[in-house]
A and B are shown apart, each in its own frame.
Chain A
Amino acid sequence: MEMTYQRLDDEVVIIVPTGMLGAGISPEHVRRGIEQGAAAIAVDSGSTDSGPSYLARGVSKMNREAVKSDLLVIMAEAYSAGIPVLVGTCATSGTDQGVNWTRDIAVEVAKDLNIQPKIACLYSEQDKETLKQKNKDGKITPLAPKGELADDVIDSCDHIVALMGPEPYIEAVKAGADVVLGGRTTDTAVLSAVALMNGAGSGPSWHAAKIAECGGQCTVHIRKGGVLMRVGKEAFDIEPLDLGNQTSPETVSAHMLYESTDPLRLTEPGGILDVTDAIYVQADDRITRVTGSVWNPQPYTMKLEGARSGSYQTIMIVGIEDPHVLANLDAFHDQMQDLLTQRIASVFAEETSDFDVSLRIYGWNGTSGQPVPAGTPPPRDVGVMFVVTAPTQDLANRMAKSCNPLFFHMPMPGHIELPSYAFPFTPADIPRGQVYEFVLNHVVHVQDGLELVRTGWVDLKKADDMERTHA
């Protein structure tokens, strides 16, 4: 049955071209969104998903070329349409240096395109002394499973960022920004900002942003590009950017569940989105309409994320097809674990007792580390990964080297000569680098969404005028 799509009155249209800047954006998709009257292009560029290393080091998970390629598409289309581009959580973790890294790419893109955008940079990395003062004033509170925050935990972090809400983006766009590059921001805040600014309903704006946060993941064909958010006062519609893609009430509502511990309520800076009474209906073959989303304003809080760097690891890998080992993998694991631990303890007795040896047998129970059910037949082949963790890279490397002969040759009952397991590399020991950890799960209470945020500007039009004046 053909359904006739009726647009929402007073809709604000936002293009969400991808779930992650650098994943690839189709210019046709963006143009189609602009034809539909889009007020902005908004995209997330970060996540804690890939672990604490990116925040601790302040570097991007996505490579520079991929980020540049996507910025080229959206900055070109947005500039000619006269609408702003908003990027949230620049360079994976949204540190100040991550914002500046993205800013330098954006400036290069502008030069390549011969355009002169006004670029706003929003910084939300936090100074340790400021946070200690906030903590002293009782303005930092823990989220489960963490407890009260100690000052030495703040001091131990390499970088601490606060998650911004939409307010700094709205201020920047109002001040004339063509491109807004944000530090750490909630995925939903960067996508909802321009809808909220233009008077769309708070419940629909935040809910639409939650649904669109991973681009096409809320659609039927999740690899066919991003989505359009059409946000009205009381409802919103989600439409795939690709004409060959669809959404359904199932694909849209299921996304509320994603990576979140509560499928019905989402805590954001300045409020809680409650979708308990939301109703999802098919608006036409491709578009899903949602009503009943509620935004409950709360005292303004920003979540803090902090990461620190710790010990170092060195790894070794062997492959094993030897039936004497495969028939007794648990015994092999335990014997190897004991011998390697004793070996390091005795060789390094004078230097340190701070080390950890871990063996993971892939093809048996390497992924879980849990006991295998009794009666499980032996596999054809396993890979064994050795991981040693120590206070320095040099120590971890030397400990691995001391384990090399045993890891390579340890005999099992039934062996008539010393076995040699299959090393794929030489040297066999591979320095893996540092272990990083997230240590904060706290919120800071602030007056408003701007208190802990700093804004910097790069006005290429002015810079261009200046160059001409001085030429």
Chain B
Amino acid sequence: MHHLTAIVTGASEGLGKCIAFELANYGVNLVLVSLPESGLPQLCDFIKKNYHVNVHKIETDLCRFENYESIFNELKEAGIRVDILINNAGVGNFALFLDKSLAFYKSQIQLNAMVPVLLTRLFLEQVKDNSPCYILNVGSLGGRFIMPQKQVYGATKSFVRYFTNCLRLELCDTNVSVSLLSPGGINTKPELLVLHNSLKGLSRASILEPEAVARIAIKGMFAGKKEIVPGRLNQLLVLLDSLLPAEIKDIIMKRRMKKIVSKNTHIQSAHAESLLKESMP
């Protein structure tokens, strides 16, 4: 596995950062993509200092169309060919549909749905025919279950799920392995740390740490798994989802919706949001 190189989008924080560490653990060279001023240079220096891998950084805004091609052009000029594509960058949301702006949804759909498709297209153009290649698309359990307050996010993740499964089918006889990662809640951003820790019982128990998700994800990707669902509880949820009749699932979700809109959660998410606004550049 010495000569493999991976490109990871959204690498400066959260799951992307932990995936970068995990790949470095496997001795995989890295191309890390993230927004400017998101701490990418520090992360790259840190990985170079602590692991024996090459790290190339690309600071770019993936919401801008002209930036996609320039990524692969830049790599070509640097003589780097990538064997692994991790489509990780994405924007979550946890709000009623009318509470977010047009601009937010536009960039969310672009980043979560369009970017993985186009990067996959560009990635496949440059892979060799005979060496093993891997694509890992980060979806979400939200792409499987209808979850309240995740309308657009869940829809983009459903899109990623369909795209990934279909592409896997198309490439099944090639050297390219395509996997979907469908995690539940992950403790990443500050506002999620606050929100997740206000949860109780099973919802709290289903939340995982990013390093655990990254470990399971990369292992599953190299094993060529179709869909990777980290956490036993989440796997149980997936099983239940396939067994329960749609009517019962509807009732459960409606009850959850009521709970979520209850005052208590509203205050907490408002606090979490304000924390986000203040802490993020």
Chains A and B are bound partners: no
> Which residues of B are at the interface with A, using a C-beta cutoff of 8 A?
none
> Which residues of A are at the interface with B, using a C-beta cutoff of 8 A?
none
